Structure 1
């Protein structure tokens, strides 16, 4: 999953802010682990020593008023330095009287305060002053009467609020500081305090998560301005939201309950985490204006076996459209990450040749963290001579060769399943030429992906004509394909029949009930590099 640590279900009102040099994602991880912070009392800081080149300090007095206008001790206030001599300062002053003083060096500060009502009341007030220029003794009044409601709700009237996160970042002089509030309770109100900052200096995120009768909701909004928000009203319609379907498969009878999570890709968030029994589907409606989204799936845990995790990150969504991600289903096989900046699947660095490729990615191409396999072997030949054999993780191996140009044959194989549960076998054989260079270079590796329409138990109808999508990834997708042939087998790979590939689809008829379909691709790219990829018992019929 992305670097944040989503909270499962609801959480108590919790808040943190970033100290200098702390990432906002690390802050949210601490949110998930910390528990209740509200009510923590820290003594007023003593006056700073003067002289000896120490920066000038000033007294900051902060008064806290509740929604009735009375002074209150029910607050948690934080002051964080942004620029000037006080840029590295951080203080959480408290006095039960509701008025507190602290001495700080001159500089620009971010102040935020969370106020809570007396016991038995509901509602939280979050007041943010993104620009506090401390250049003289200063008094600030944090007044809950200035706040306005955060009224963000899904189009389903009976949906239950799980949690909300408000997060603000303030930038000045090239330095960014942040603060946040998180609540699982209704009645959050927010307000800006003090003068405006510079144009675009304040960025703010609000994410709310809800559980409905048949759908969940992840509603997120972002703002860039010179002020913090005072109130927020958003009532999206169903047609203005995008639908994300998360399907957990149970191939070969691997049933059980796992977890799925969804969260925006950018900015801080706590995410929505829900249990999901396999086979099963979770449906979440999300706000397209929040940008790209991330989904993670943790499969059912087996005794003495680490849970298998899959991720689909940074995918776009569109209002009124449905995006579906299926995890842990056939056809299992090699997959390459084509996202910008992704690490190559194979690299030649001097005399070292390394393969790092998910050999048992699921049918959607998601790479597992703990693939189920029973034996995996990788071998490398140079000009027909065996360089070495490696056993261990499928598709991962490192070899040492010699510098001169040569022809290589790299073979990776793995048997799916575990022990008596072992099933299909995946084999990829690449040939290419390579020589040592002055800098690391990607190996010209390609893979072929097959995407038949399968139920969540990994099966397709028996005796039916099918047109299976075939996709080329890797080097051949860039330089071009010279030839590509596809064959299928209905007897576990004992015999093979070449099938036509028209408009990117392989056409054949599935065998009778309870049989398996095996698939083979033979590819040559325009530079003469080849791939022979065999997926024995790729999927079953019913």
Structure 2
């Protein structure tokens, strides 16, 4: 398949699920007023492509694409085919990318993929696509019994300021590749290969990139354990609405990468386009994946089990950096659930419009659910002490129109959901700040406090043992802009509170008896006088 136009990354990935025939418009012609001559049509040439299988005969099956990179044929794509194995097409002159796949009716024979990254069409030209020139792609993990899942090879060719791509996706490890034609300009050819393997405990995601003047003729790399990084993905049993099992306390989730195709659960590299692969994840449980750091960062999506008739929550973890020999852990759908500001301002003012994008139910690692479950939610905006706006629902994509000029504001929100083991049953948050009319989008100074206790697989903490709980400030008060911070805990659902000293970025919680919910509260003032009052009722439980 050839991709001929730049698209948003996820759109490109979805495009990989079908073989798209991308056509080009016919060349335009015109008449020059006052002249006897028409505008010159682009010169065209006949491109003839001969196809030979591994025995030098007409292949059983083949598919060839020719896509214009630059010149009059830029953007035009053709798929010439003839049962004789020799196909012709007439095209305007210019630089083209040619790629061809040849295969038989026997799966074990695999596929030959031949790419000519530089095809300069300036005369009638004949090209021979010969499967006898290919070499095997032999990429394997260090674990011999690991089972192959799928793979994808991609090539990107740049010329004249334009880029075109081609790819092949395989469900069997039987791919052979070859370069065809002259070398392209230095660095104009980029190619990458990703393959995925499964084991009882998880699997392997093996990726590698190349840059140069030629397409790959075969690829051999047998990975060692020392070349790989460990990506540990954990799912917490949280039997609340929208959480694991929704009352069952267990289930099976799925880990998925945004490099995957549409809604398929996969893990994949952040740099794409690419393909991904699927792994199931027991809840509670852990999937251990070994990935190649040289492929760059990795994207993961976790889909939590859901109650019948409800939408499952998906949690995105994008751009995960890994290092050979090191372990990176992401825990999904677990406590302490609360507001999060990772990668976002939270609240912005544009002219006299306030827009909030402030998730109140991010999981313990800060992953934001796509379908947060709650029973009731309310948000209100006060201006100089008077209620200006009230709305049902949280602060995801909430918009408020405010009067012009400066004023003091308070933004308050509460979310409540059914009590359940390990669930945050209520989140209350209130922010105060001053704001005035702006000439464009300007962040409003809001902050949140995140609590990160080390909890067990079920999201609980040992009863009767003091627990160190790291405290992190996100938003306007981060990076040393805290004037005052008070943290308190409650073991009776928030009826009474005990202040906990904050020392070296953490508090120590005297965990109560087994089966007790611990609630946490943070009261913060930043160096400019903006405040936060945040309460998490049933932040976690003891077990």
Give TM-score, length-normalised by structure 2.
0.90
Query: d(CA) in 2 for partners of 1:231 and 1:120?
Result: 19
Does 2:523 match 1:522? yes
Report the Cα distance in structure 1 between the residues aligned to 2:214 and 2:309, rounded to whole angstroms: 52
Q: Which residue of 2 aligns with 1:192?
A: 179
Give unmatched runs, 5+ long, in structure 1.
1-15
Shift of 1:130: 0.2
From 41, 59, 72, give the equivalent of 1:72. Answer: 59
- The residue aligned with 2:448 is 447
Q: Select 2:289's aligned residue among 267, 276, 284.
A: 284
1:337 match: secondary structure: coil
- The 2-side partners of 1:141 and 1:250 are apart by 58
Deviation at 1:401, TM superposition (A): 2.2
* Residues 120, 215 of structure 1: alpha-carbon distance in 2 compared, 3 angstrom cutoff: closer
Aligned to 2:212: 225
Q: Does the CA-based 8 Å contact 1:345-1:355 persist in structure 2? A: yes
- The answer to whether the 8 Å contact 1:122/1:186 transfers is no
Other-structure match for 2:117: 130
Aligned partners of 2:7, 2:112: CA distance in 1, in Å? 25
Distance 1:390 1:224, change over 3 A: same
Residue 248 of structure 1: aligned partner: 235
Task: State the Cα deviation string for residues 488-522 of structure 1 (Å, max 9, x = none).
Answer: 01111110000111110101210001111000111
Write the distance in 1 (CA, Å) between the matches of 2:64 and 2:479: 55
User: Could you state the TM-score of these two structures normalised by the residue count of structure 1?
Assistant: 0.90
Is this contact kept in 2: 1:242–1:319, CA < 8 A?
yes
How has the CA–CA distance of structure 1 residues 121 and 429 changed in structure 2, closer, same or farther, with 3 Å as cutoff? closer
Task: Give, in angstroms, the shift of residue 74 of structure 1.
Answer: 2.0
CA RMSD across the alignment: 2.4
Match of 1:236 among 219, 223, 236: 223
Task: Specify which of 285, 290, 293 is matched with residue 298 of structure 2.
Answer: 293
Given that 2:66 and 2:96 are in contact with CA atoms closer than 8 Å, whether structure 1 keeps it comes out as yes
Structure 1 residue aligned with 2:411 = 410
Could you say which residue in structure 1 is the equivalent of 2:244?
Answer: none
| 1:245–1:324 CA contact under 8 A, matched in 2 | yes
Q: CA deviation at 1:20?
A: 4.1
Q: Does 1:272 align with 2:277?
A: yes
Distance 1:402 1:212, change over 3 A: same
Give the stretch that moved more between structures: 64-73 or 140-149.
64-73
Once the two structures are TM-superposed, the CA of residue 421 in structure 1 deviates from its matched residue by 11
Q: Which runs of 5+ in 2 are unaligned?
A: 30-37, 240-246, 257-266
CA contact (8 A) 1:360 1:394 kept: no
In structure 2, C-alpha distance between the alignment counterparts of 1:519 and 1:25, rounded to whole Å:
38
**1:370 alignment partner in structure 2:** 371
Alignment partner, residue 252 of structure 2 = 257
Flag the 1:20–1:329 CA change in 2: closer, same or farther, 3 A: closer
Q: Secondary structure at the match of 2:80?
A: coil
Matched with 2:74 is 87
Greater shift in the superposed pair: 313-322 or 250-259: 250-259
Name the count of aligned residue pairs.
514
3-state DSSP class of the match of 1:145?
helix
Structure 2 CA distance, aligned partners of 1:437 and 1:479?
A: 26
Is 2:230–2:290's contact at 8 Å kept on the other side of the alignment? yes
Q: Which runs of 4+ in 1 moved over 6 A?
A: 418-422
Q: 1:282: how far off? A: 1.0
| Alignment map for 1:37-48 (pairs within 5 Å) | none
Structure 1 residues 8-407: aligned runs within 5 Å: 16-20=1-5, 25-32=10-17, 34=18, 53-119=40-106, 121-252=108-239, 253=247, 254-261=249-256, 262-338=267-343, 342=344, 344-394=345-395, 396-407=397-408
